[in-house]
Amino acid sequence: FTEIFEKYRLKSLENITSNEGINERVNRSVQAEGAFSKLKEGLKYSRFKHKGLKNILSEMNLMVIAMNLNTLTYKILNKDFNPTRYISVEEKVA
């Protein structure tokens, strides 16, 4: 590979193996799993109701909008405007 590519690859490796990078990866995986759980259990959504890629994408977009509106409503009603963060590496060790 080129020298420039190697430089960026090493910088990327440093970023993702730092404590901050590990915390970001943990939060990202937890948040994604939670979103699917909320979609399937919370909204009782287990399968697409339409056929065809265009219709499925439209249906999924509507579900995502519904989830975001539910989250926004909850945050407004509870005056909770901070982003949700999960346990960090430092908190686990301590």
pLDDT attached to residue 94: 52
Of the candidates 81, 43, 47, 49, the residue with the CA atom closest to the CA atom of residue 64:
43
- Number of domains making up the chain: 1
70 residue type, one letter: N
Question: What does the alpha-carbon distance between residue 74 and residue 82 come to, in Å, rounded to a whole number?
Answer: 12
pLDDT attached to residue 54: 95
Supply the range of the domain harboring residue 79: 3-93
pLDDT attached to residue 38: 78
| Block mean pLDDT (10 aa), the chain, length 94 | 93 92 80 76 80 92 89 90 69 56
